[in-house]
Amino acid sequence: MTDIEREIRSEIAKAVRDLGGSPEIVSTIEGKTKAEMYDGAESLGADRYLLAAIGSWGDTLTDQQVLQELRAWNAAEWETPPPRIQRK
- Compute the distance between CA of residue 19 and CA of residue 2 in angstroms, rounded to an integer: 26
pLDDT in tens, 23-39: 988 988 989 999 999 99
Cβ-based neighbour number of residue 8 at 10 Å: 26
Q: Does residue 85 belong to any structural domain of this protein?
A: no
Is 12 among the domain residues? yes
Domain-located, residue 45: yes
51-73 pLDDT per residue, tens: 999 999 999 999 999 999 999 99
**∠ Cα 8 86 5 (to 5°):** 5
Task: Give yes or no for a contact between 85 and 18, defined as CB atoms under 8 angstroms apart.
Answer: yes
Residue 47 belongs to what domain range? 3-75
Q: Does 82 fall in a domain?
A: no
Indicate the pTM of the whole model. 0.85
What DSSP string describes 3-56? Answer: HHHHHHHHHHHHHHHHTT--HHHHHTGGG--HHHHHHHHHHTT--HHHHHHHHH
- Which residues on adjacent β-strands are paired with residue 57? 61
* Inside any domain, residue 81: no
**Would you place residue 1 in the very low, low, confident or very high pLDDT band (cuts 50, 70, 90)?**
confident
